[in-house]
Amino acid sequence: MLTEYIQAALARSEYKMLDDQTWFAEIPGFEGVWANAATVESCRSELCEVLEEWLILKLRDHDPIPIVDGLDLRILESEAA
């Protein structure tokens, strides 16, 4: 499920070439998740790494995580029996 979530989030990525001829990418709705690299391929790779690290921190801190294409990574607390 995590791989599917990451792929769905990356599918929403927006890329643009900057004036210095490097690529910038971000994912709308994922504040602070962005990358900048010399090629679009390396930019996408970097964006994926940033997203993975961002998700780990969000899960650790129990912060809200956007639902993407119906995929919800929230950790649900179960009641003790």
Closest CA to 13 of 59, 63, 50, 38: 50
User: What pLDDT does 36 receive?
Assistant: 98
Q: Tens digits of per-residue pLDDT, 48-81?
A: 999 999 999 999 999 999 999 999 987 666 655 5
One-letter amino acid for residue 14 of the chain: E
Which of 14-23, 37-46, 58-67, 70-79 is predicted least confidently? 70-79
Mean of per-residue pLDDT scores for the chain: 93
- pTM given for the model: 0.88
Write out the CATH class of domain 2-61. Answer: alpha beta
Domain ranges for the chain, please list them: 2-61
